[in-house]
């Protein structure tokens, strides 16, 4: 999330607060008695729960990863503006990269989502290592990555296999993998679990349990959400683009509104956020979402569900746009009629949904950002990592997106479409032949009743 | 999980040893026996010795080591008897018991978290933990109820709406909790609050998902609930016995009182026990049939034609055993073969759940999860091996026994768009023709 910078202050103040805050936060912990009396390493880590936060190592001063080119170009400006320019340039770079990948297609987008997921996982796990100083538990790195692999295998098998149904039917081994997918995933996970139990070392129990839990919570957050993003993507690229752009727009416009008009603080957790920024961001995001939905709804490329065609061996987005994406006339309510003097307006129904999406992005999305801010304060880190100059790590950019991905997925399944047709087909093909026959007869009767199927059909 | 007791009677340190974290003697029973122990007259308040007065008086003249042994033994029998009563009372009561066990386990683990992090003075957090428990339970029960009680749900208008928008409602409830958490972050307690948040979520993941898998297994047929749980209990008891009498070689550093002899003896004994138990149970419809909700009688019924799994079949005995046993063929239920797989998992992998719990108790320097059951510890102590078992049975059923639920598929089909329905119908038709189930000539409208 972009932070509102104080209009008067500079970025130099960012360095000083953490230690002071740390000591203040540590004060409460100092008064608590340590219940661990043992003298081994477990004791040291056990004390982490109750001793002062100032004992937690600060992240070493970040290496300045700004490329040389930028530094030379901006060397003439004062440090405040220089930082502003770096952030601005990086923002534009990221946005253009985003457009480029959209142009390259859904497969590249999927790869991008996967890389972001892996990087976020890595960042959070690294923070865990640093907090618990558990570099000297080599098993644990292996186990964390192994669990990431298992969970990804499980999710990809569940979701992506549905979409590749035609491709999968051809290959025998894949059929076997699909049929027993849950069992295989569970066996893989169990192997990791047993390895964890066998790797418990006498003096490091608590540390190992902490890292185990840390890994699992991280997996829960990053991996499930990234798979929901990919499922949204398959529904139609517009369901991927509009929510993400709404969140980005909300960040930027809330920042700008706060910069120019900000006065009243919003929440103690992020003192630089203001109510003016929040509300201004809300209205601009709704307008932006509305406009973006209007523009994107015209193109089949964005609107159609992504399908895998085995003949072409690639993803195609070609279809008859559904009703959501066909212009319809809506009559305006009377007071708007008086203002605008139009009788009706042509809208895509999707634009109405986009208002719901934008509202969520502006009102609830920020809570994801507050959660990440709280997390950073709790563990005394300034940024999740230093990957992007001026912005921090990948997690810093994506913290608001997470809740959004789940919301869009739940929204789609509840309001837009029912179950996934390819999944229904997949499950039908797995049934026993007699059951399939029974279902076939039932379906046939139903379809003929509804007039979808002609009774003259021979078979 | 059972342990080897040193055969040499080290009496003096036996009483404190019995109470230590290593002594995970599991003469296990099943289910919520805290109601059982509270029913006993005048339970002593808040002490390590929760033994009821009756037992105390009856055993007062025995030495303390044997007294402890007797207490554990009696409680074990009490828990097993309670288990049988519950089975007799039917699926509804079983579901309620599973729910109570789940809540108690959650409570125990969360209380440990509070103790570890000294976080009693964060009153918001208790509320939030219970709220999250409620949300996740609501989500899971809604999914289950929608599947199994479909006709009931369709009848009642409010239920129908709740079921249609179930995911959205659950997500909203969860989000509310999430936002409340963010708003409740207090300046000096960030880390603590994040720890408790993480602790709550991991506990929910472990406890709640597993208990719902148990209920899914139950709906498949009570035998799928009873046989796995009994196998785990039997493995505990048998491994303890074998370890007691024959134990010499230590198994794992984490639990020094477990031995290889106990492990292997328990394995074979459990497989045999599983075979016998499934033979006995497969004869009765009330165990074998899927639990269904009957709209007319408004209750659960277990009445059906037993599937192939539960009909006696002839199997040829392989040559090796033929010469030993002298039989050519044997009549078995196919389910017994599955029970071998279940028992094997219970004896080989189930103990890892116990090791995990032991490691957890060592890590957080606690002897038992709680003091609910005299002589045994808390509910979690009794159920730590069951968790992996529940997931395994569920995955096993989904992969090997039954496929997807046909009626559910039809429901899903009916909600699709017409063009999607047509597409699926045509694909199914060509698939059936390929398989030879349908021929173009014999098919009639």
Out of A25, A214, A448, whose CB is closest to B187? A25
Residue B300, pLDDT > 70, answer yes
Residue B23, pLDDT > 70, answer no
Q: Sketch the domain layout of chain A as residue ranges.
A: 65-104, 107-135+201-418, 138-190, 421-458
pLDDT band of B345, cuts 50, 70, 90: very high
Q: How many domains does chain B have?
A: 1
Query: B158 vs A58, which has greater pLDDT?
Result: B158
Gap from B266 CA to chain A (nearest CA, Å): 19
The answer to whether residue B420 is domain-embedded is yes
The answer to whether residue B51 is domain-embedded is no
Residues in contact with A405: Cβ distance below 8 Å, sequence separation at least 6, in sequence order = A225, A226, A228, A229, A232, A243
Gap from B408 CA to chain A (nearest CA, Å): 10
Got the DSSP string for B44-61? PSSSS----HHHHHHTTT
The CA distance from A240 to A81, in Å, is 34
Please name the residue of chain B whose CA is at the shortest distance from the CA of residue A319.
B419
Out of A370, A413, A448, whose CB is closest to B167? A413
Please name the residue of chain A whose CA is at the shortest distance from the CA of residue B349.
A194
Residues of chain B with Cβ-Cβ distance to A427 below 8 Å are: 403-404, 409
Residues in contact with A84: Cβ distance below 8 Å, sequence separation at least 6, in sequence order = none
pLDDT band of B132, cuts 50, 70, 90: very high
- Out of A256-265, B341-350, B394-403, least confident range: B394-403
Full residue range of the structural domain in which residue B427 is found: 90-122+186-408+415-435
Gap from B395 CA to chain A (nearest CA, Å): 6
The CA distance from A425 to B21, in Å, is 52
The dihedral region occupied by A59, where left means phi > 0, alpha psi between -120 and 50, and beta the remainder, is beta
pLDDT number for residue A246: 92
Residue B264, pLDDT > 70, answer yes
Please name the residue of chain B whose CA is at the shortest distance from the CA of residue A177.
B399
Residues of chain B with Cβ-Cβ distance to A307 below 8 Å are: none
CB A209 within 8 A of CB B363: yes
pLDDT number for residue A415: 83
The answer to whether residue B269 is domain-embedded is yes
Residue B52, pLDDT > 50, answer yes
- Out of A194-198, B22-26, B398-402, least confident range: B22-26
pLDDT number for residue B405: 65
Out of B167, B254, B403, whose CB is closest to A430? B403
Q: What SS3 class is residue B329?
A: strand
pLDDT number for residue A55: 41
Residues of chain B with Cβ-Cβ distance to A435 below 8 Å are: 403, 406
Residues of chain A with Cβ-Cβ distance to B414 below 8 Å are: 446
Of A59, A437, A289, A58, nearest in space to B438 by CA: A437
Spell out the per-residue pLDDT of chain A, length 459, in tens: 433 333 333 333 333 333 333 333 333 333 333 333 333 444 444 444 444 344 444 444 444 555 666 566 656 666 667 777 887 888 888 888 888 888 887 788 888 888 888 988 888 888 887 777 765 676 778 889 999 999 999 988 877 666 676 666 667 777 777 778 888 999 999 999 988 888 888 878 888 888 888 888 889 888 988 888 888 888 888 898 899 999 989 988 988 888 888 888 888 878 888 898 899 999 999 999 999 998 888 887 888 887 776 666 677 777 777 777 888 887 777 777 777 777 777 888 888 899 999 999 999 888 888 888 888 888 888 877 777 776 777 777 787 887 888 899 889 888 877 666 666 777 777 676 777 777 788 778 777 877 777 766 554
The CA distance from A283 to B62, in Å, is 79
Residues of chain B with Cβ-Cβ distance to A428 below 8 Å are: 409, 424, 428
For an interface test with A, the pick among B189, B393, B445 (most A C-beta atoms closer than 10 Å) comes out as: B445
Inter-chain CB proximity B416 and A419 less than 8 Å = yes
The answer to whether residue B231 is domain-embedded is yes
pLDDT band of B43, cuts 50, 70, 90: very low
CA angle B17, B21, B26 (to 5 degrees): 90
Gap from B41 CA to chain A (nearest CA, Å): 35
Gap from B28 CA to chain A (nearest CA, Å): 22
Residue B357, pLDDT > 50, answer yes
Inter-chain CB proximity A35 and B365 less than 8 Å = yes
The answer to whether residue B24 is domain-embedded is no
The CA distance from B207 to B113, in Å, is 15
Across the range B50-74, mean pLDDT stands at 68
Residues of chain A with Cβ-Cβ distance to B399 below 8 Å are: 179-180, 182-183
Tell whether B432 lies on the interface with A, counting CB pairs under 8 A: yes
Size of interface A-B (CB pairs under 8 A): 208
Out of A183, A214, A438, whose CB is closest to B399? A183
Q: Are strands A270-274 and B329-332 parallel, antiparallel or unpaired?
A: unpaired
DSSP state, residue A416: I
Secondary element (H or E) of residue A273: strand A270-274
The answer to whether residue B233 is domain-embedded is yes
pLDDT number for residue A81: 75
pLDDT number for residue B304: 74
Residue B440, pLDDT > 50, answer yes
Helices and strands counted in chain A (H then E): 20, 6
Gap from A337 CA to chain B (nearest CA, Å): 34
Q: φ and ψ at B377, to 5 degrees?
A: 105, -145
* Angle, helix A365-378 to helix A401-411, in steps of 10 degrees: 140
Runs of H (alpha helix) within A297-347: 300-303, 334-340
Which ipTM value was assigned to this complex?
A: 0.76
Residues B402-415 have pLDDT tens digits of: 666 666 677 677 66
Residue A162, token pair as written in the block: 């549905």
Inter-chain CB proximity B189 and A28 less than 8 Å = yes
Q: What SS3 class is residue A315?
A: strand
Please name the residue of chain B whose CA is at the shortest distance from the CA of residue A176.
B399
The CA distance from A241 to A42, in Å, is 47
pLDDT number for residue A151: 93
Helices and strands counted in chain B (H then E): 20, 6
Across the range B139-163, mean pLDDT stands at 75
Please name the residue of chain B whose CA is at the shortest distance from the CA of residue A430.
B403
Of B355, B350, B376, B386, nearest in space to B229 by CA: B386
pLDDT number for residue B3: 38
Considering only residues 109 to 148 of chain B, which have any Cβ-Cβ distance to chain A shorter than 8 Å? 116-118
pLDDT number for residue B403: 63
For an interface test with A, the pick among B143, B358, B363, B418 (most A C-beta atoms closer than 10 Å) comes out as: B363
Please name the residue of chain A whose CA is at the shortest distance from the CA of residue B203.
A213
Inter-chain CB proximity B190 and A439 less than 8 Å = no
Residue B268, pLDDT > 90, answer yes
Please name the residue of chain A whose CA is at the shortest distance from the CA of residue B440.
A459
CB A411 within 8 A of CB B168: yes
Residues B167-220 have pLDDT tens digits of: 899 999 999 999 898 888 888 788 888 888 888 888 898 889 888 888 888 888
Residue A295, token pair as written in the block: 């523009």
CA B98 to chain centre: 8
Considering only residues 332 to 361 of chain B, which have any Cβ-Cβ distance to chain A shorter than 8 Å? 349, 352, 355-356, 359-360
Inter-chain CB proximity A424 and B409 less than 8 Å = yes
- Residue-averaged pLDDT of chain B: 76
Which three-class secondary structure string do you get for B187-218?
HHHHHHHHHHHHHHHHHHHHHHHHHHHHHHHH
The answer to whether residue B327 is domain-embedded is yes
The answer to whether residue B58 is domain-embedded is no
If you compute the radius of gyration of chain A from its CA atoms, what whole number of angstroms results? 26
Residue B442, pLDDT > 60, answer no
Please name the residue of chain A whose CA is at the shortest distance from the CA of residue B253.
A202
Across the range B264-275, mean pLDDT stands at 93
């Amino acid at each position: 999330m972009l932070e509102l910078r104080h209009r008067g202050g500079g970025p130099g103040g960012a360095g000083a607060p953490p230690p002071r805050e740390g000591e203040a936060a540590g004060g409460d912990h100092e008064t608590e008695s340590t219940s661990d009396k043992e003298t081994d390493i477990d004791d040291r880590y056990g004390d982490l729960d109750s001793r002062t936060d100032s004992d937690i190592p600060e992240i070493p001063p970040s290496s300045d990863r700004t490329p040389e080119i930028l530094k030379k170009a901006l060397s003439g400006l004062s440090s405040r503006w220089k930082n502003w320019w770096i952030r601005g340039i990086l923002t534009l770079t990221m946005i253009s990269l985003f457009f480029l990948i959209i142009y390259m297609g859904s497969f590249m987008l999927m790869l991008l989502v996967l890389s972001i997921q892996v990087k976020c996982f890595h960042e959070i796990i690294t923070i865990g290592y640093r907090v618990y100083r558990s570099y000297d538990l080599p098993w644990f790195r292996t186990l964390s990555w192994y669990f990431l692999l298992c969970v990804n295998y499980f999710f990809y098998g569940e979701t992506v296999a549905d979409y590749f149904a035609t491709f999968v039917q051809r290959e025998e081994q894949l059929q076997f993998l699909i049929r027993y997918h849950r069992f295989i995933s569970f066996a893989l996970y169990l192997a990791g679990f047993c390895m964890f139990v066998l790797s418990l070392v006498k003096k490091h129990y608590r540390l190992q349990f902490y890292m185990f839990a840390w890994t699992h919570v991280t997996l829960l957050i990053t991996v499930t959400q990234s798979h929901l993003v990919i499922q949204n993507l398959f529904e139609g690229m517009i369901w991927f683009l509009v929510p993400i752009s709404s969140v980005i727009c909300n960040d930027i416009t809330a920042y700008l509104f706060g910069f120019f008009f900000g006065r009243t603080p919003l929440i103690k957790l992020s003192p630089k956020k203001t109510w003016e920024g929040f509300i201004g961001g809300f209205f601009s995001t709704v307008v932006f979402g509305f406009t973006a939905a209007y523009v994107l709804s015209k193109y089949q490329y964005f609107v159609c569900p992504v399908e895998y065609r085995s003949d072409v061996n690639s993803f195609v987005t070609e279809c008859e746009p559904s009703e959501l994406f066909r212009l319809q006339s809506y009559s305006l309510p009377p007071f708007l009629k008086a203002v605008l003097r139009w009788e009706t307006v042509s809208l895509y129904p999707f634009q109405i949904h986009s208002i719901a999406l934008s509202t969520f992005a502006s009102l609830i999305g920020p809570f994801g950002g507050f959660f990440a801010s709280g997390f950073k304060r709790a563990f005394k880190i300034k940024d999740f990592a230093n990957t992007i100059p001026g912005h921090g790590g990948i997690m810093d950019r994506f913290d608001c997106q997470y809740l959004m991905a789940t919301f869009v997925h739940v929204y789609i399944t509840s309001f837009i479409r029912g179950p996934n047709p390819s999944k229904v087909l997949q499950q039908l093909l797995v049934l026993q032949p007699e059951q399939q026959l029974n279902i076939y007869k039932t379906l046939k009767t139903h379809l003929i009743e509804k007039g979808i199927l002609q009774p003259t059909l021979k078979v | 999980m059972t342990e080897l007791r040193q055969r040499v009677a080290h009496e003096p340190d036996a009483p404190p040893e019995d109470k230590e974290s290593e002594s995970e003697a599991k003469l296990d029973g099943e289910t919520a026996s805290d109601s059982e122990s509270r029913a006993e007259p005048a339970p002593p308040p808040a002490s390590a010795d929760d033994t009821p007065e009756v037992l105390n008086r009856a055993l007062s003249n025995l030495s303390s080591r044997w007294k402890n042994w007797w207490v554990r033994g009696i409680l074990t029998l009490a828990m097993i008897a309670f288990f049988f009563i519950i089975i007799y009372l039917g699926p509804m009561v079983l579901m309620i018991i599973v729910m109570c066990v789940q809540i108690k386990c959650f409570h125990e683990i969360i209380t440990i978290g509070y103790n570890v992090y000294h976080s009693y003075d964060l009153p918001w957090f208790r509320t939030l933990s219970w709220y999250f428990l409620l949300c996740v339970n609501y989500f899971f029960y809604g999914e289950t109820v929608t599947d199994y009680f479909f006709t009931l749900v369709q009848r009642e208008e409010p239920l129908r709406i709740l079921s249609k928008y179930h995911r959205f409602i659950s997500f909203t409830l969860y989000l509310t909790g999430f936002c409340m958490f963010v708003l409740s972050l207090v300046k000096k307690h960030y880390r603590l609050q994040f720890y408790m948040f993480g602790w709550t979520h991991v506990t929910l993941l472990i406890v709640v998902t597993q208990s719902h898998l148990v209920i899914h297994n139950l709906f498949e047929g009570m035998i799928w609930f009873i046989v796995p749980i009994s196998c785990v209990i039997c493995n505990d008891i048998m491994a303890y016995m074998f370890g007691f009498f024959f134990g010499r070689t230590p198994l794992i550093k984490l639990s020094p009182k477990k031995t290889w002899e106990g492990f292997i003896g328990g394995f074979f004994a459990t497989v045999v026990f599983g075979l016998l138990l499934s033979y006995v149970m497969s004869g009765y419809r009330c165990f074998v049939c899927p639990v269904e909700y009957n709209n007319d009688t408004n209750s659960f019924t277990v009445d059906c034609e037993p599937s192939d799994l539960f009909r006696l079949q002839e199997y040829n005995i392989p040559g090796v055993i033929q010469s030993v046993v002298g039989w050519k063929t044997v009549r078995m239920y196919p389910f017994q073969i599955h029970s071998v797989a279940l028992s094997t998992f219970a004896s080989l992998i189930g103990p890892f759940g116990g090791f995990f719990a032991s490691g957890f108790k060592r890590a957080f320097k606690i002897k038992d999860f709680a003091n609910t059951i005299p002589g045994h510890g808390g509910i979690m102590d009794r159920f730590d091996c069951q968790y992996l078992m529940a997931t395994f049975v569920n995955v096993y059923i989904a992969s090997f026994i039954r496929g997807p639920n046909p009626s559910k598929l039809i429901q899903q089909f009916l909600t699709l768009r017409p063009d999607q329905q047509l597409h699926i119908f045509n694909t199914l038709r060509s698939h059936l023709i390929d398989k030879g189930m349908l021929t173009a000539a014999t098919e009639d409208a």
